[in-house]
Amino acid sequence: MNNPKNALTIRNARPDDAKAIQRIYAHHVETGTASFEEVAPSTDEISARRQKVLDANAPYIVAEWNGEVQGFAYAASFRPRSAYRHTVEDSIYVDPKATGKGIGSALLSDLIERCTQLGYRQMVAVIGGAQNVASINLHKRQGFEEVGHLKSTGFKFGAWVDTIFMQRTLGPGDTSLPQSNETPFD
């Protein structure tokens, strides 16, 4: 699908997006602390991870700018224990050449809406590094608040890296009990 000039489209990620997603993610793994991975996964591994997210009834989306994938986002289970089934963790990565165009904001906004529609009640952001101000500010603009700061929990590029936890309510949040048929992450 070709987009008109300067058009931003958010859509479900497809199998053929894996190469672009891998390229974007590899940049962040190799140059920053947004990910605590130290070796970028292969395109095949990215495809397998995407499928695992989809199999868990969670969204995996991409942002196209001028018809090219310029960012991606997904939600995954916050923790594996069943009591966490109503809470998701978001992940968002934007091509460094495409920053400043509102792509991260559009991805996060869409991800929040999709997760809310799926019945999730909380979204958590686990941000690598207090110096990752762009991600912290992006999440603040979308209604997240900082709820935790773990010092020196990662070690990357020869330095200790903190972890910032941010959280926002989805839908009714904790103001009501989940319905008995409400079972995200079956």
CB 149, CB 94: distance < 8 Å: no
Q: What is the pTM of this model?
A: 0.93
Planar angle of CA 85, 87, 90, nearest 5 degrees: 125
State the Cα–Cα distance between residues 67 and 53, nearest whole angstrom.
24
| Domains of the chain by start residue, with CATH | 8-172 (3.40.630.30)
Residue 4 pLDDT > 90, yes or no?
no
Mean pLDDT of all residues in the chain? 94
Predicted confidence (pLDDT) per residue in 68-89, tens digit: 999 999 999 999 999 999 999 9
Predicted confidence (pLDDT) per residue in 90-135, tens digit: 999 999 999 999 999 999 999 999 999 999 999 999 999 999 999 9
Higher pLDDT, 6 or 141: 141
Residues 162-184: what's their mean pLDDT?
Answer: 87
Q: Half-sphere exposure of residue 65, counting CA atoms within 13 Å on the CB side? A: 17
State the Cα–Cα distance between residues 75 and 54, nearest whole angstrom.
9
CB 164, CB 113: distance < 8 Å: no
Give the percent of the chain with pLDDT over 90: 90
